[in-house]
Amino acid sequence: MKIKCNKPRMTLFEGVFATLLFDLALFGTENPIINGIIYLFTTIQNSWDKSFKNEEEAERSIAEFCNRLDIQQKPWVWEKDPKKYLSLNEFFSRTYKESHFPPIGSGQVVSPACCVLQLYNNDATMRSVLIKGCEYSIESIGLPAEDIEAFRSHHVILGYLSPKDYHRVHSPIEGKCIYCKMEGEERLSASVKFFGGKFNILNENKRLVIVIETKEGVKVALVIVGGVGVNTITYDPTIVGKHIQKAQELSAFRAGGSAFAMFSSHPLHLIKDLKDVAEKGKGDNVEVQVGETLAGYICS
């Protein structure tokens, strides 16, 4: 299967700016000017909660938002008519009409979101290529302690969601939810850490940690992270112990850009395109749709 990246996700300026923000915010910076820029961006994003005055304003504002970020309008694939959204934030966390939801791949592991992926063979490779000296620790993410060594040793998949993307996260596998916990609940947004001069959203920001176990004993952990400008991660805290279908919705973001990290307790048999990217070890980007096949898992 060939994963194509031939459609613009946002304007060139917005793309460069968003990439800069995520690269800095994910693992940190000590530059107070950059921190100030990101704080300003967060303030703007938080204004999306303001309710529209009427249906005409809703329709106009959403059309402008879609035009600016190249969000699909024809055909209209989203669940509500533009006039029926109450705010930009509600539209930001939109979902698809059932008839237009992207097809779910037949593979055992599928993409949790519409996003750009970066793939690494293990946590050490990710640290050496991407993190480069920031005070990141897999032990501080919030993963179950008994599984950290297994998660450390196998593929790590990072997903970056831009402001134009569909901002709901789905299960990459079918299995039983054995762990679900919100870490950093006291942090209302990514801006909380900006004033300290250094931030690390995998260890510091509000993040939802979910672990799903297959019938074969493979565990996949999703660390769903509120990135720049994100105030809220919505989810069902009662899913622990329940059976989860592949591509079942797990959470949604409101306002801003977002990210996730996916860890596996067993080796993943990546599809060829992704395997080539992971083996290069350079953190190259691959654009995928939610539900698109990523891999199978290898059980010992």
pLDDT tens-digit profile, the chain (300 residues): 444 443 434 444 444 444 445 444 444 455 566 556 655 655 555 556 688 999 999 999 999 989 988 899 999 999 999 999 999 888 988 999 999 999 999 999 999 999 888 888 898 888 776 655 456 788 888 999 999 999 999 999 988 888 788 989 999 999 999 999 988 766 544 433 333 334 455 555 678 899 999 999 999 999 988 765 555 788 899 999 999 999 999 988 766 557 888 999 999 998 887 877 766 655 568 889 999 999 998 775
**What's the start-to-end Cα distance of the chain, in Å?**
26
3-state secondary structure of 283: coil
Cα–Cα distance measured from residue 211 to residue 62, given in angstroms and rounded to the nearest whole number? 35
Per-residue pLDDT reduced to its tens digit, 126-146:
877 665 545 678 888 899 999
Cβ-based neighbour number of residue 226 at 10 Å? 26
Beta bridge partners of 213: 176, 219
Interacting residues of 117 by C-beta distance below 8 A, sequence separation 6+: 111, 157, 158, 159, 160, 274, 285, 286, 287, 288, 294
